[in-house]
Structure 1
């Protein structure tokens, strides 16, 4: 993570940790700070986890995957260390961070990507039950509990599943995926004429990982390369058909849409449209 703080002179942080079967409980208290997980931080990580964060201190905000909210005391949120996130703790804070292996959590929640960064209300329903359990699972208390660790860990998974209402997960994930795919499409459209444009550049523009970009487009039945070529060819067709651009050579038009190699431009154009650029220009 990358951390900044306006309290450099009296900055403090304290962490206590304990294992609970496959989970790790981290009780964290610290001075006001702003926390970022960036692409460079992700690339340096040897292992990745989901984190269920329970706020038992002052309010703070979370943002990940286009979702976010303000967490009051007793509220929770779920984040994925494989994706960029941002936490803003304006005051001294106290959080229980439940570190869960990816495979463990995805056995409880089949589509957690739709739920990242969302506020889990700890004041009602199953969220209240989950929060009540987490409040009792301090690292100091775990070893003294009379139940097996696996049973307690499974209780966390079961209540998390209920709090996030898995019956509505399929409905919840459709719109976020469609919204993100639309955003990716807009970003590609805005930059498609840049030679050498790659998926990582679009992912950076949208503050998502390349993995998320490819996965989102795959859910829509397409790929980054297909979308990029389609947008370039749409522009090329317009230029070739417009009298205003009749003095531009075909190779120059290819260059202007990001396809600098004339023969490659011709091959791609014909594959997509069924015509050569010259046939489009002459109307034949």
Structure 2
């Protein structure tokens, strides 16, 4: 039976009530990455998914009956962005297998796993879990080091796991009910906590650098998502990430860049993409510049020429000639 119609919310979220293993398999493959799902009782299978997202961070609560999930080598080879997933077991238990390691997760426990490597998750009874999924660079740690800990149980009752697991569970409970700015702040805190937990377990030296890289990745993601916002500037970015503008400028300076220069370069790249898009031939050059934050046509033309060696009108003319 097909899933009931989802109730959607802003930010890429929604609720799904699912009947039958095929409907569930399609839903989780869409919500996460392509997966193979099986169960010993397909006709009696029932599940519920509740999803919400901000930027590239997705939070999903899964409430389902017993089944087996497999991310096979063949499914991995189909490609797609490499992501990390953090699963918090709220009820029931799970056996997670990846990279030759096995982790048995009981209620309150959590584990990290990697969608770019095969894995399996076996749920022997009804269960409920929360899954946080995000691109690997957002964790701010070398993926090869994080992979040393995939399918490793973090206890939900001791150590940093006792802090991270309850926080992620509470975030999932309220995430799709919160306005976008609150979701953005919570996702930032969630990633910081996961980074701290994994760094501590790895014993990574230079943890401050890992935190800096994680923050920089999140700032880049924020800029990308707000390029059309005329109010995007160092002050608004620093406020969104709860840092001072001085710290934000230092973050970019360490990479040999500036905040304003990064924003300008990303906006110009979007303008160039639109100017070379045959589907936007009817859109005036000035309108394309304005769409991406260049309200003054003369300033847009000057900045574009400085970046690409020709005015935007020449780029558009080349498309006409083609």
Shorter-chain TM band: 0.5 to 0.7
Q: Which residue of structure 2 aligns with residue 36 of structure 1?
A: 70
Residue number among 26, 31, 44 corresponding to 2:60 in the alignment: 26
Deviation at 1:111, TM superposition (A): 2.0
Compared CA separation, residues 167 and 58, structure 1 to 2 (3 A): closer
| Distance in 2 of aligned mates of 1:30 and 1:168 | 32
SS in 2 for 1:61: strand
Residue number among 127, 130, 133 corresponding to 2:161 in the alignment: 127
Cα pair 2:101 2:152 within 8 Å, conserved: yes
Deviation at 1:143, TM superposition (A): 3.5
Cα pair 2:83 2:114 within 8 Å, conserved: yes
| Distance in 2 of aligned mates of 1:36 and 1:167 | 26
Residue number among 63, 67, 78 corresponding to 2:97 in the alignment: 63
Deviation at 1:140, TM superposition (A): 4.8
| Distance in 2 of aligned mates of 1:45 and 1:8 | 29
2:114 equivalent to 1:80:
yes
Cα pair 1:20 1:142 within 8 Å, conserved: no
In structure 1, list runs of 5 or more residues that go unmatched: 172-284
Q: Normalising by the residue count of structure 2, what TM-score does the alignment of the two structures yield?
A: 0.49
| Distance in 2 of aligned mates of 1:160 and 1:138 | 15
Residue number among 146, 149, 155 corresponding to 1:115 in the alignment: 149
Question: What is the count of residue pairs matched by the alignment?
Answer: 171
Instruction: Return the structure number with greater relative CO, CA threshold 8 A, min gap 6.
Output: 1
Q: Which residue of structure 1 aligns with residue 130 of structure 2?
A: 96
Deviation at 1:167, TM superposition (A): 6.7
Deviation at 1:58, TM superposition (A): 0.2
Cα pair 1:18 1:139 within 8 Å, conserved: no
Residue number among 161, 177, 183 corresponding to 1:149 in the alignment: 183
2:73 equivalent to 1:50:
no
| Distance in 2 of aligned mates of 1:109 and 1:21 | 21
Instruction: Find runs of 4+ consecutive structure 1 residues off by over 4 angstroms.
Output: 107-110
| Distance in 1 of aligned mates of 2:100 and 2:185 | 34
Deviation at 1:98, TM superposition (A): 0.4
| Distance in 2 of aligned mates of 1:147 and 1:166 | 29
| Distance in 2 of aligned mates of 1:11 and 1:36 | 17
Cα pair 1:21 1:149 within 8 Å, conserved: no
Cα pair 1:50 1:99 within 8 Å, conserved: yes
Alpha-carbon RMSD: 2.4
Compared CA separation, residues 96 and 119, structure 1 to 2 (3 A): same
Q: Normalising by the residue count of structure 1, what TM-score does the alignment of the two structures yield?
A: 0.55
Deviations 1:99-140 (A, max 9, x none): 111111244877211111100111112111101111111265
SS in 2 for 1:18: strand
- Which is worse superposed, 158-167 or 27-36? 158-167
Q: Which residue of structure 1 aligns with residue 193 of structure 2?
A: 159
Q: Which has the larger radius of gyration?
A: 1
Deviation at 1:50, TM superposition (A): 0.8
| Distance in 1 of aligned mates of 2:116 and 2:164 | 24
Cα pair 2:140 2:195 within 8 Å, conserved: no
| Distance in 1 of aligned mates of 2:108 and 2:58 | 19
SS in 1 for 2:190: helix
